[in-house]
A and B are shown apart, each in its own frame.
Chain A
């Protein structure tokens, strides 16, 4: 069973500090939903409010249509996986997993059976008798998931559960988590500061900054049509040029920037519409930049190659561009063309207007 989660005008304050501001959000039942944002932006705070450990200063939280005000964490249809997992070190793996059943008064034989089922689900068969301390990081991770699932929650809340794992395992666990979510079919609310995790696993993502939700959308929308400079700079990489809007026409804006005049699309998701005369940013992703061909008429940028990094499948090429304080970065698929480029060579780059994004000036993500 899965339930939808609604946050209606939720504010959470610690004294005079506002940790979450005017959160208005609907998470559909059975969806994999992520909160993405830098550390300290209020993600854990929102999760704790949904699980019932924190009372919102204002607003309502509804799970499955039911207002959760006054309902404690032990009586909500949610289960929380803590950032540090918080497994019980003095219990065996199977006792950990079936703690929620023990609470309900299920007898030991039945609990044991359920534990074995769940150990099967998380691919740790026969490890029930071990102590938690004897498991590896990845295994502990799975035990935490099983322990939460044993409570048969309608909503599973996950607070950066993969952050302690090494890169390989993290990538493996992404797939694993997504497949577990599909199998059990309940709502997952996932918190992360890692955009890769958010984009690969989620049906929908909310990007947060300083307690505010900047944009909600599916992964491609967030990536291709960012609604604010913060989202554009936090999710993925971007080259950024500042300038003044000359004209706005039919979803395209002409911006006179420090590196020349650029034509860029204005996403419908933008929180502030562009007007002529506004200060604006134009964002161009490294993978959208190419070497200009003779027939490219617009968005040409003159650049000098300063550095190249080889990443196997990709080349990262860095340019110095007059008018840009930071080096401009271009990612190219490795097609064996490396011998054609030299450091110090002056070239012309282009980024299609459709792949360039113009947004009204606003706060950016910290580097």
Chain B
């Protein structure tokens, strides 16, 4: 009934044509591009990897073997758990959390500065200089980082010229290039929600806190951050999801020994030729990400509606 009233209201407000168009486009988007593929993936992840001839045949039954594989590995291996895949999974999640924190620490001051301190042309120039690098293709950007962080890259050249290190520091092998590349890839996704949230804060509140004797860090802790909470959660969840699900950056910037969980998924789909197993792995990553988002929302006590603001 409420839905009916809502729709009726929606139609009278926007007119029949626009309403049908909006509902159609949004419906198509949600159903065909989000729900349907995920349902197929979900279904797939519970099937055996059969040759095309046997699909739909008597052997095509549901199984949880792929999920079991992620946990316990192949029956032939000596470990009782799938140590390699689980380690990669855990490392991916933990690294994504750190990338998120790192981005937050970098972006919060920038967003605050843009939203509350800088004015006019200076702020616009700064936003532009943040955006322009993203006109460059993601892969090219990753390679650029590889060059910068390489053993003959500018950073190592500078460090050696200053005498801080004697030999080139292995940024790539130590995954520092990867963290930097991932962090950089998502700064905008962190800055914009933060900026939006902080921008709507009344400057007088900051001044009031200052006038009441507050040092700058307490102003942020007690006034600015609580106010920006929806923006903080929105930025953090987005950066987390995208870095946990990143593929190109780990592929290009990762050290030789470091696999990203998405790379394993990719291998199952691609070289491994095992789509059901790839699907199972992808579903696990998806569910973990969703749980993470819900957890963040719970901790920060924000509602989904606020995040989407």
Contacts and interface: CB of A to CB of B under 8 A. Distances in A.
A74 B213 contact: yes
A99 B211 contact: no
B210 interface: yes
Interface in A52-97: 52-53, 72-75, 78-80, 82-84, 86-91
Contact of A100 (B205, B207, B212, B227): B212
B210 A72 contact: yes
A183 interface: no
Contacts of B210: 72-74
B204 A82 contact: yes
Given A86-B202, A86-B204, A86-B205, A74 B226 contact: no
B242 interface: no
A88 B201 CA distance: 10
Contacts of A88: 205, 208-209, 222-223
A103 B208 CA distance: 12
Interface string B212-237: 11110010001100110000000000
A310 to B, nearest CB: 43
B3 to A, nearest CB: 30
B181 to A, nearest CB: 36
Contacts of B207: 53, 73, 80, 82, 86
Task: Name, among B205, B215, B226, the residue most crowded by chain A CB atoms within 10 Å (CB to CB).
Answer: B205
A306 B300 CA distance: 69
A38 to B, nearest CB: 22
Interface in A100-152: 100, 102-104, 147-148, 151
Contacts of B208: 80, 82, 86-88
B36 to A, nearest CB: 41
Contacts of A80: 207-208, 211
Given A84-B202, A86-B205, A88-B223, A78 B218 contact: no
A74 B212 CA distance: 6
Interface string A289-321: 000000000000000000000000000000000
A74 B214 contact: yes
Given A53-B207, A86-B208, A151 B202 contact: no
Contact of B213 (A84, A86, A91, A103): A103
What's the interface size class on B, roughly? Answer: 10 to 19
A75 B223 contact: no
A78 B211 contact: yes
Contacts of A72: 210
B205 A151 contact: no
Contacts of A147: 212
Contact of B214 (A52, A87, A103, A148): A103
A89 B222 CA distance: 11
Given A79-B211, A82-B207, A99-B209, A90 B218 contact: no
A84 B205 CA distance: 10
Nearest to A78: B211
Interface in B170-213: 202, 204-205, 207-213
Nearest to A98: B212
A90 B212 contact: no
Contacts of A89: 227
Contact of A73 (B202, B204, B211, B222): B211
A356 interface: no
A51 interface: yes
Contact of A90 (B202, B204, B211, B227): B227
A67 to B, nearest CB: 19
B226 A90 contact: yes
Nearest to B215: A74
A125 to B, nearest CB: 23
Contacts of A86: 202, 204-205, 207-208
Contacts of B204: 82-84, 86
Interface string A20-64: 000000000000000000000000000000011100000000000
A53 to B, nearest CB: 6
Contacts of B211: 51-53, 73-74, 78-80, 151
B205 A99 contact: no
Contacts of A74: 210-215
Nearest to A99: B212
A80 to B, nearest CB: 5
B189 to A, nearest CB: 25
A99 B219 CA distance: 11
A48 to B, nearest CB: 9
Contacts of A103: 212-215, 218
Nearest to B205: A86
Nearest to B208: A86
A79 B212 contact: yes
Contacts of B205: 86, 88
A75 B205 CA distance: 17
B33 to A, nearest CB: 37
A91 to B, nearest CB: 8
A104 B226 contact: no
A77 B200 CA distance: 30
A95 to B, nearest CB: 9
A342 to B, nearest CB: 56
A147 B213 CA distance: 12
Contacts of A84: 202, 204
A99 B222 CA distance: 10
Interface string B155-182: 0000000000000000000000000000
Contacts of A91: 222
B179 to A, nearest CB: 33
B232 to A, nearest CB: 13
A172 to B, nearest CB: 24
13 contacts: A52-B211, A53-B207, A53-B211, A72-B210, A74-B211, A74-B213, A82-B208, A83-B204, A84-B202, A88-B223, A90-B226, A99-B214, A148-B212
Instruction: Give me the 5 closest cross-chain CB pairs, A-B, nearest first.
Output: A86-B204, A86-B208, A100-B212, A103-B213, A90-B226
Given A84-B204, A100-B212, 5 more contacts: A74-B213, A86-B205, A91-B222, A103-B218, A151-B213
